[in-house]
Chains A and B, each alone.
Chain A
């Protein structure tokens, strides 16, 4: 049997000194197959981003984290990451940001230019090649960040609340672009968000995480026809039902954390 694309088993993560340490994650198990779009939702501060950072190789936890059966110990080009705060290099132009990962791999200049050009077209930013990140809107920045990551053709996309800083309209547009991209490339995606609607709209599977220390409380398979339009999907009974189920469970996690439920 081939190992799953991503395997996380009994993963825990502690922060801080031993005397006053904080347990961020506790015994998390998660397995993602190739081509799945899995989203983790949970209250803020539950450790869902930490999980993503460990998978990215930026932080270390205790337990098993493996890609294709190989343990993760450092960042790698097989995993592309997009952060909520865009993380574009402010001193590089749009073109050079997108070409950054290609340059570190010593891809020849002409080939690099071709790839960058293709991604600029894909994200609809032609004419903005020489702009610096500070001259772009939030939506444009996040498009560039996505293009920069995709240009390296990672097998796995890790998305850390990628649309969290965008206004509601731009967020919907970006979600649709991401969905279109995923349908075309069928990359394995692991996303983290606190937006239940976004999670259900985009993912094939939604995992709900508890308050800190984060554990995965329950997984929901989402079976929707993604070829339909946004309106059709969002207005369908299946979407409504899935969204409500996830929302009630996420809300229960938030409420249990604040002590509201135990007060009565």
Chain B
């Protein structure tokens, strides 16, 4: 890539952000009746600097991410097991398919008050909420990935001596990995929404709690700074995930 090309890429990537920031700043300066309700970029940047120097942000971020990725990891294990078993065994599909279909479009955040009642305030409720909302996209992608295994692959494996019970782990599961990776990426995007929503309602710690407290006390510059932090973390993790899975699944022809 030449220097001018690289410059063009950088500009076309940062352009929308620059325009958005300018509009934000203009709205803050001219439209908002009270500048504390709609803080300008300077106030947010100052809050960001103050926040990043305090342990409050980092310890709460650590707790939130731990809950977030634990819930996601459990959803991957359970979702892939369930989805691939549904694809392989008609009896499993017959039982779970109506349940998955009926609960797929239910907003899982609506369950948080109920989880709060059952599991109490704290990490268990938050992690469970993340687990439940990440589960279904992974089940569905894993199911379709395994179901779409070309029959000639299954036949070849059988002709090469693969016993019936080994077809799932040795053929259907690897064949469905690209779809599992896609489903997990969708779940990854969901997970932050649910973590923060759950922490606002059912937690004494975490980024969601922090946002809730800042919002309640009118510290909107700190509120936006915290949101900015979670956006950046989510973006970086997503990029790392895409790169990692592209390397691990380099055998796959990504569209």
> Which A residues lie at the B interface, using CB under 8 A?
53, 56-58, 74-77, 79-81, 83, 85, 87, 89-92, 100-101, 104-105, 132-134, 148-149, 152
Distance from B8 Cβ to chain A, minimum over Cβ atoms (Å): 31
Q: Are A101 and B160 in contact (CB under 8 A)?
A: yes
The contact of B252 among A77, A90, A92, by CB within 8 Å, is A90
Q: Are A83 and B156 in contact (CB under 8 A)?
A: yes
Q: Are A91 and B251 in contact (CB under 8 A)?
A: yes
Using A92-B251, A148-B156 as known contacts, list a sample of 12 further A-B pairs with CB atoms less than 8 Å apart, ordered by residue number in A.
A53-B155, A58-B158, A77-B161, A80-B159, A89-B153, A89-B171, A90-B252, A91-B252, A100-B160, A104-B161, A134-B253, A148-B160
Distance from B245 Cβ to chain A, minimum over Cβ atoms (Å): 13
Question: How many residues of chain B are within 8 Å of chain A by beta carbon?
Answer: 23
Q: Are B253 and A87 in contact (CB under 8 A)?
A: no
B150 at the interface (CB under 8 A from A): yes
How far is B250's CA from A77's CA once the two chains are assembled, in angstroms?
31
Interface string of B136-151 (1 = CB under 8 A from A): 0000000000000011
How far is B218's CA from A45's CA once the two chains are assembled, in angstroms?
73
CB contacts (< 8 Å) of B252 on chain A: these are 90-91, 134
Q: Which 10 A-B pairs have the closest CB atoms?
A: A101-B160, A104-B161, A87-B152, A132-B251, A75-B158, A87-B156, A91-B174, A75-B159, A83-B152, A58-B155
Interface string of B203-225 (1 = CB under 8 A from A): 00000000000000000000000
How far is B168's CA from A12's CA once the two chains are assembled, in angstroms?
31
Distance from A3 Cβ to chain B, minimum over Cβ atoms (Å): 22
Given the known A-B contacts A89-B171, A134-B251, are A77 and B160 also in contact in the complex, defined by CB atoms under 8 Å?
Answer: yes
Given the known A-B contacts A83-B152, A134-B253, are A89 and B174 also in contact in the complex, defined by CB atoms under 8 Å?
Answer: yes
How far is B150's CA from A153's CA once the two chains are assembled, in angstroms?
25
B175 at the interface (CB under 8 A from A): yes
CB contacts (< 8 Å) of B171 on chain A: these are 89
How far is B162's CA from A153's CA once the two chains are assembled, in angstroms?
16
B177 at the interface (CB under 8 A from A): yes
CB contacts (< 8 Å) of B151 on chain A: these are 58
CB contacts (< 8 Å) of A87 on chain B: these are 150, 152-153, 155-156
Distance from A144 Cβ to chain B, minimum over Cβ atoms (Å): 12
Distance from B99 Cβ to chain A, minimum over Cβ atoms (Å): 28
Q: Are A75 and B174 in contact (CB under 8 A)?
A: no
The contact of B160 among A57, A58, A104, by CB within 8 Å, is A104
Q: Are A56 and B159 in contact (CB under 8 A)?
A: yes
Q: Are A132 and B155 in contact (CB under 8 A)?
A: no
Chain B residue with the shortest CB-CB distance to A104: B161
The contact of B156 among A77, A81, A133, by CB within 8 Å, is A81
CB contacts (< 8 Å) of A83 on chain B: these are 152, 155-156
